Amino acid sequence: MTDPARPDRPDTQPSAAEASSEGRRWLTPVLLSVLVLVPVGILIFSNLDATEVSWAGFRFDQPLWVILLVTFVAGMVGGKLAGWGWRHWRKRRKRLKEELQVLRKHAADNDPAGS
């Protein structure tokens, strides 16, 4: 039977190193999340006082932890959107370069002057 995850290697079991690596694939994201979320949590929950916020002509009182949490989430969303935009721009740029190369090659092949 062919392993669907490994179509190039039918009927083979992963090596011990591969199995160990795949078994710990979750470890890095968990550690990074803990390294980010613990200090953010400490910051948020050590600032429980209310404060006045002025934004876009509105004034309201909110607990500081709510403001910090909203700011953190907005930063995460903004970072994800910026990353998506960057990847989209790079893919589009690569595609346009490839299309330009094909067009130039096609124009050179069909050039009757042979320049």
Q: Which tens digit of pLDDT belongs to each residue from 12-30?
A: 666 665 656 666 778 888 8
* Long-range CB pairs of 62-68, under 8 A, 24+ apart, other chains included: 68/40, 68/43, 68/44
Structure tokens at 46: 């050590």
Q: Which tens digit of pLDDT belongs to each residue from 28-81?
A: 888 888 888 888 888 877 878 888 888 888 898 888 888 888 888 899 899 999
Q: What is the pTM of this model?
A: 0.52
Separation between Cα atoms, residue 110 and residue 115, nearest integer Å? 11
User: Which pLDDT value is given to residue 17?
Assistant: 58
Cα 100 from chain centroid (whole Å): 29
User: Which pLDDT value is given to residue 32?
Assistant: 83
User: Which pLDDT value is given to residue 74?
Assistant: 93
User: Which pLDDT value is given to residue 81?
Assistant: 94
* Spatial contact of 68 and 45, defined as CB atoms under 8 Å apart: no
Q: Taking 60 as the threshold, does the pLDDT of residue 10 lie above it?
A: no
As a whole number, mean pLDDT of residues 4-14 equals 59
